Amino acid sequence: MPEPEPSPHDAREMIAGFARYRAIFTPGTTLFAVSGLVARLPISMVGIGIVLLAEAETGSYAFAGVVSATALIANAAFSIVQGRLLDRLGQGRVLPIAITLWGLGLSGIMWSLLAEWPSWTTYACAALAGASLPSIGACVRARWSFALKSRPERLQSAFAFEAVADECVFMVGPIVVTVLATTVHATAGLIAALAVGLMGTYVFSALRSTEPPAHPASTRGAAPAAMPWRPLVPLTVVMVALGILVGAAEVATVAFSEEEGQQGAAGFLLALWSFGSLVAGLISGAITWRASTLTRLRWAALALAGTLAPLALAPSIPVMGVVLLASGFALSPTLIAAVMLAENVLPPARLTEGMAFLLQTGLAIGLAPGAAVAGAVIDAYGASPAYLVCFGGGLLAVAGTLLTQVPASMRSQNEESADAGFVA
């Protein structure tokens, strides 16, 4: 039986869906979206850039890994503090200071390695760079919430665009830094990250017309707005799980490609994964969803776990590419729904702090253990079993979504319920 042809009505619906992206972009939102994208590039460049430079100067991958981990841990520890300062003092006051300190720290890493300073100086500079790395992802999403406060139904498209922007960052950044570090100079990749980070953040922070208002601490002794830990903690578990599976997938894919005798295929495979996530993010933002955000989050996490399960059984690079592409289609919808829920439950006075906790602390907590456990499994059993760490991360994400509860008053535009209290 022949397949029914799409009707003109279906085509019009699809065109109207993608027109939602045009509706959210004004001159003001376009400026902060583009500068925020540029400012985020160092997130995907600095880690691998530090490893390439440190290994080139010392010959030790172990030392390079410790330096990179030091920056990651410092970032996870201080992102909440930075988020709180951003909410209380405003992005225009905090971000220029943070990015300047980050630039000094990153420059110190390069200088200490090239000048062969004691190891502790490199660690100290890495800690400074990690602790001061601006929470641009949280800041951009806070600006979208402020810019669209009168049209909250458009936030789904805005956050979908940001998920796509994140995928672009992680597709482009590692390639640029690797090419520069291996063909120009070991420091060239980090210098490029330094340049785009400084330029993007200074421009972003100077856009005052779209900056959310600051919420200074009360001088009358009033208690600050309470952080909604009940829904935020399980949502953070979801983000930790995403960090685990991403960290494990990167290491396992490099090892799998090497075992197959095509080490260069690792970048292609990971790019396929990111491409699937990018396309799914674009589609997600163009759809008018009938299901609630929490329901979408649970189904997306379940789909993610389900598509991660076959990775350990993939017999070849072409099959692995297909499975990773399919898995990518569930990755960004999980991230988008989690951020949407967080935006809905966080009080405006603590929005950036909560987003930083979710997007930076949560992901960072998962990335390092995911990569480390996958590496240990590879050493003991080979590359394919290491993908079970990714599957474990997917199951943890499902568990986090099942534990997530949101206030009964928080509904998507199509959700109806008369229950009181919290909805699970």
What contacts 15, CB < 8 A, 6 or more positions away? Answer: none
314 Cβ neighbours under 8 A, 6+ residues apart: 256, 320, 323, 384, 387
**What local confidence, expressed as pLDDT, does residue 28 receive?**
93
Cβ(41)–Cβ(199) below 8 Å: no
Written as one letter, the residue type at 35 is: S
Q: What is the pLDDT of residue 292?
A: 86
In this structure, is the dihedral angle defined by the CA atoms of residues 99, 103, 106 and 108, taken in order, positive or negative? negative
Q: Taking the model in full, what pTM does it have?
A: 0.76
Q: What is the 3-state secondary structure (H, E, C) of 34-50?
A: HHHHHHHHHHHHHHHHH
Tokens of 342: 């967080």
Cα distances (angstroms) measured from residue 177 to each of 56, 64, 193, 302, 367: 14, 16, 8, 34, 20
Q: Which of 118-132, 180-194, 281-295 has the lowest mean pLDDT?
A: 281-295
SS (H, E, C) 140-158: HHHHHHHHCCCCHHHHHHH
- Rounded average pLDDT over 393-403: 95
The maximal CA–CA distance of the chain, rounded, in angstroms, is: 73
User: 64, exposed or middle or buried, with CB in 10 Å at 0-12, 13-18, 19+?
Assistant: buried
Question: Residue 321: its pLDDT value, please?
Answer: 92
User: What domains lie within the chain, and their CATH numbers?
Assistant: 24-215 (1.20.1250.20), 225-413 (1.20.1250.20)
The yes-or-no verdict on residue 271 having pLDDT over 70 is yes
Terminal C-alpha separation, the chain: 43
The average pLDDT across 352-379 equals 82
Determine which of 50-59, 60-69, 238-247 has the lowest per-residue pLDDT on average. 60-69
Nearest CA-CA partner of 392 in 234, 204, 246, 293? 246
Cα 224 to Cα 104: distance, rounded to the nearest angstrom: 33
Per residue in 82-137, pLDDT tens?
988 999 999 999 999 999 999 999 999 999 999 999 999 999 999 999 999 998 98
CA distance 399 to 233: 12
In eight-state DSSP terms, residue 409 is: T
- Which of 3-12, 45-54, 262-271 holds the top average pLDDT? 45-54
Question: Cβ distance 91 to 212 under 8 Å?
Answer: yes
pLDDT tens string 135-181: 898 899 999 999 998 888 888 888 888 888 887 887 788 778 878 88
Percent of the chain with pLDDT over 90: 41
Is the pLDDT at 420 greater than 50? The verdict is no
Q: Has residue 1 got a pLDDT over 50?
A: no
With 60 as the cut, is the pLDDT of residue 65 above it?
yes
Task: Supply the pLDDT for residue 223.
Answer: 59
Q: Which residue has the higher pLDDT, 73 or 266?
A: 73
The percentage of the chain sitting over the pLDDT mark of 70, rounded to a whole number, equals 89
Task: Please name the residues in contact with 148: beta carbons below 8 A apart, sequence gap of 6 or more.
Answer: 24, 154, 155, 158
12, pLDDT greater than 60: no
d(CA 212, CA 86): 10
- Using CA atoms, how far apart are residues 44 and 33, in angstroms rounded to an integer? 18
**Backbone phi, then psi, for 406, in 5-degree steps?**
-125, 155
Say how far apart CA 269 and CA 367 lie, in whole Å.
19
Q: What is the mean pLDDT of residues 407-421?
A: 45
Q: Please give the Cα distance from 120 to 66 (Å, whole number).
A: 11
DSSP string spanning 284-352?
HHHS---S-HHHHHHHHHHHHHHHHGGGGG--SHHHHHHHHHHHHHHHHHHHHHHHHHHHHHS-GGGHH
> Can you read off the two tokens belonging to residue 373?
């456990």
Residue 393, Ramachandran bin (φ over 0: left; ψ between -120 and 50: alpha; else beta): alpha
